[in-house]
Amino acid sequence: MKKLAKSLIFLWGVSGFTVTGCVVSAVPAPPVDSVAEAAGAAEKVSRTLWGDNVGAMDPFIDALLAKMTLEEKIGQLNLLTSGWDVTGPTMNEDYKDDIAAGKVGAVFNAFTASYTRSLQKIAVEQTRLGIPLLFGYDVIHGHRTIFPISLGEAASWDLAAIEAAARVAATEAAAEGVHWTFAPMVDIARDPRWGRISEGSGEDVYLSTQIATARVKGFQGEDLAALDTLLACAKHYAAYGQAQGGRDYHTTDMSERELWDTYLPPFQATVEAGVATLMTAFNDLNGVPTTGSAYLLDDILKTRWGFEGFVVTDYTSINEMVPHGFARDNRHATQLAINTGVDMDMQGAVFVDHLKALVLEGKVARDRIDAAARKILAMKYRLGLFDDPYRYMDEDRQQREIYKPENLQAARDMARKSMVLLKNADGLLPLRKNGLSLAVIGPLADSKADMIGSWAAAGDRHDKPVTLLEGIRAAVGDDTKVTYARGGGYEFDDTDRSGFADAMAIARTADVIILAMGEKWDMTGEAASRTSLDLPGTQPALMRALRELGKPMVLVLMNGRPLTINWAATEVDAILETWYAGTMGGFAIADVLFGDYNPSGKLPVTFPRSVGQIPLYYNMKNTGRPYDVNGVEQKYRSRYIDSPNTPLYPFGYGLSYTTFTYSEIRLDSAQMAAGGTLTASVTVTNSGARDGEEVVQLYVRDLVGSVTRPVRELKGFQKIMLKKGQSQTVTFALQPADLAFHRRDMSYGAEAGEFKLFIGGSSEAVKEADFTLLDTVVLRPAHSPQVRALPHYHSTRNPIASLTHE
């Protein structure tokens, strides 16, 4: 039973609240007096993180704004893309004219020191005030040296390595004149049909939040003006990951509680980490396109979270409010976007077309334009561009930084860490390097283009990536024979089986068959939704044909989403999930296949058995009729009649070449008080024959709540290295803040009552302990979502926005 009698109300500051409090060193934030103060605190945090010298910057920008015409200010809010030619990025001549006319504040998709310099020269030398351009680019998982796709990096559960990967990406991109990356993508995604699941950190709030913070730190470092850092951009705000039916750009509709408990926390974490910019999303949320949502942009982002950076739209998403049926035309859409808090228009060109007239008509306040321009100019100032507009564009540095050996080594290391061993029957892996005959087969075995996945920035798809075949050849001894056949195709409409014969021929004489199968690189990422999660093309048929030979078979998966691989899970001996492993992918996979690296990755996302189970994620609710595999009457239970409820592979799952055993859990107390800390310890032993790493995971379940609670929630993890035979005690510290959620009245807090705690190597961890939270602790008071979420919400802070939706 809950002990609701003792109910403590603590109003903790937004900036003080920590969701990372689950580590031993965590210290609870001090209480503050009011939420208003909390918002103020957040502002200070971000400006401090940006190293602001407000004393010098603010007067400089005041003076600059005083000199600027309305058109010049609007020009700063305009972001246009560079195009592509065979020789590299180019700029449409009309856009060059726009730059010279002061109608462009920022350019994206432009890189290389010389090319960005040539555009910068136009802005500096040909515009009246010489305000430098800001250069943005999608540097998502590497710039030239490509790391594993973001979902793959998340599978490493290695925050230091993820931060380091972002830093390498920033270093390379900044040397080519880039100032700003459109990353991290922090959308929680629980529907693998959605191709963009590959760009985020998976399904879990806690893991995604930690990774989001690590990436912001990695990109931005300690100093925005440093030449090896980039401005980061948290995207896509918000709830883009829950597109209905997994179809990209589709509607999202969800409860306020789901929004606040699941989809907003990673964004809030990036704001707390000092992210410089945020990007709106393409979707509408509960009826309001996010790019025109005063609730998201004004109320939550600016007022409650105190965000002081600038907000950019996604690509033409202001214009898209017209087909959404939310704006009558582009002018109306422009008015809605600017008045609700958008500062920069990506590629829609609607600000330059319509803002001036809207100001003259009195529908947009001049102050609002000034505020948006100020935020963008402030970022240029922080980057040091007013001191030297060309400071990032340095051919020598570019030469030195791109593909540095350390960068390639970091990419290889990250790739090894990202791989998840899904199956390893009879210890088939690791393979020995000598005296074997290996048949390497599949459309992904020797495909450079696929190795780096989607959103691979300036990554080379032709020469640089190391394929699996190349990696294997480089790893094995002279007395190991390696043969190769592509065998089949991975296009959706591939039916041609003529390559099967070659594949069968080399497989017949081999000791082990290594299959490289999955998805073609552009089947994941943006606009890559699928209705089936099966291996496409002739791959399944080829796999089945080869299985008939009865040889040991390893499946190396390359893909950007969970796949339904039920047949392989039963029939193939070993399965290694490698995602798209990046420039050094082939070497990294070989490191794992031959045991130079013992796999340590854990799934950041559930692998379902079938599309029909979607959405399937580990922290679901119990329902009123939970299915019990051991129960007697099972008909009227929450279950499928043609499939188990369970996934093929659960969240947090991943094997190693060694084994780990867990002791019972030890709690320092069976009770936690408000303001108190409870520690849970477990001794983990490497009980196998090899050194290895384990991701020790802590989950909790709140047994009774004022609203129903998930069956498990990740609240902490530690990745540890244990030599064979070695044991280590791992301790987690939990505080009431770690148990908080949006309660029945939408206040945010932890409720007194009984909890279960689980520790283990996956979300199905079996070691458990019970504890009681003695007091209800409210960390933030309730807000009124019903009123604020109305599509035509009238902000009281923004006089223009409050006028009308007109």
Closest CB to ligand BGC among 16 and 200? 200
- Catalytic residue (one of 98, 248, 298, 314): 314
Q: How far is the CB of 249 from ligand BGC (least distance, A)?
A: 9
Residue 235 as a binder of ligand BGC (CB under 6 A): the answer is yes
Q: Are 559 and 518 in contact (CB under 8 A)?
A: yes
Q: How far is the CB of 116 from ligand BGC (least distance, A)?
A: 16
Report how far residue 698's alpha carbon sits from residue 602's, in angstroms, rounded to the nearest whole number: 14
Q: Residue 421 corresponds to which amino acid?
A: L
Contact letters for ligand BGC, residues 138-157 (x by CB under 6 A): x-------------------
Report how far residue 577's alpha carbon sits from residue 198's, in angstroms, rounded to the nearest whole number: 13
Contact letters for ligand BGC, residues 660-679 (x by CB under 6 A): --------------------
Which residue in 158, 314, 345, 394 binds ligand BGC (CB under 6 A)? 314
Cβ neighbours for 323, distance < 8 A, ≥ 6 positions apart = none
Q: Are 716 and 734 in contact (CB under 8 A)?
A: yes
Q: How far is the CB of 527 from ligand BGC (least distance, A)?
A: 8
* Residue pointed to by tokens 């949320």: 285
Q: Is the dihedral of CA 96, 98, 100, 103 positive or negative?
A: negative
Q: Are 571 and 206 in contact (CB under 8 A)?
A: no
Helix (H, G, I), strand (E, B), or coil: what is residue 610?
coil
If one counts every other C-beta atom within 10 angstroms of the C-beta of residue 454, the result is: 25
Closest CB to ligand BGC among 157 and 455? 455
Closest CB to ligand BGC among 280 and 335? 280
Closest CB to ligand BGC among 182 and 607? 182
Q: How far is the CB of 423 from ligand BGC (least distance, A)?
A: 34
Q: Is 33 a catalytic residue?
A: no
Report how far residue 531's alpha carbon sits from residue 39's, in angstroms, rounded to the nearest whole number: 43
What one-character DSSP code corresponds to residue 297?
Answer: I
Q: How far is the CB of 390 from ligand BGC (least distance, A)?
A: 24
Q: Are 220 and 275 in contact (CB under 8 A)?
A: yes
Tell me the CA distances in angstroms from 426 to 75, 472, 553, one per residue in order: 64, 22, 12
Residue 118, both tokens: 């040539």
Closest CB to ligand BGC among 314 and 470? 314
What one-character DSSP code corresponds to residue 489?
Answer: -
Q: How far is the CB of 744 from ligand BGC (least distance, A)?
A: 36
What one-character DSSP code corresponds to residue 427?
Answer: G
Which residue in 12, 115, 180, 182 binds ligand BGC (CB under 6 A)? 182
Closest CB to ligand BGC among 139 and 161? 139
Closest CB to ligand BGC among 182 and 326? 182
Q: How far is the CB of 199 from ligand BGC (least distance, A)?
A: 7
Cβ neighbours for 278, distance < 8 A, ≥ 6 positions apart = 233, 234, 235, 237, 267, 270, 271, 301, 307, 309, 310, 311, 312
* Residue pointed to by tokens 């209905």: 244
Closest CB to ligand BGC among 314 and 450? 314
Q: How far is the CB of 449 from ligand BGC (least distance, A)?
A: 20
Q: How far is the CB of 134 from ligand BGC (least distance, A)?
A: 14
Q: Residue 426 corresponds to which amino acid?
A: D
Closest CB to ligand BGC among 316 and 646? 316
Closest alpha carbon to 210 in 244, 184, 173: 184
Q: Are 706 and 744 in contact (CB under 8 A)?
A: yes
Q: In the complex, which residue's CB is closest to ligand BGC?
A: 182
Report how far residue 557's alpha carbon sits from residue 571's, in angstroms, rounded to the nearest whole number: 15
Helix (H, G, I), strand (E, B), or coil: what is residue 726?
coil
Per-residue b/e over 574-596, b at no fewer than 16 CB within 10 Å? bbbbbbbbbbbbbbbbbbbbbee
Closest CB to ligand BGC among 148 and 200? 200
Report how far residue 614's alpha carbon sits from residue 371's, in angstroms, rounded to the nearest whole number: 43
Give how far the C-alpha of residue 442 lies from the chain's centroid of Cα atoms, to the nearest Å: 29
Closest CB to ligand BGC among 72 and 248? 248
Contact letters for ligand BGC, residues 258-297 (x by CB under 6 A): ----------------------------------------
Report how far residue 35's alpha carbon sits from residue 12's, in angstroms, rounded to the nearest whole number: 8
Report how far residue 106's alpha carbon sits from residue 52's, in angstroms, rounded to the nearest whole number: 21
Q: How far is the CB of 456 from ligand BGC (least distance, A)?
A: 12
Q: How far is the CB of 526 from ligand BGC (least distance, A)?
A: 5
**Residue count at the site for ligand BGC (CB under 6 A)?**
6
Per-residue b/e over 379-390, b at no fewer than 16 CB within 10 Å? bbbbbbbbeebe
Which residue in 187, 298, 320, 526 binds ligand BGC (CB under 6 A)? 526
Residues within window 51-90 making contact with ligand BGC, judged by CB under 6 A: none
Strand order across the beta sheet in which 345-346 lies: 180-181, 134-137, 106-108, 78-81, 345-346
Q: Name the residues annotated as catalytic.
A: 314
Write out the residues near ligand BGC by the rule CB under 6 A.
Answer: 138, 182, 235, 314-315, 526
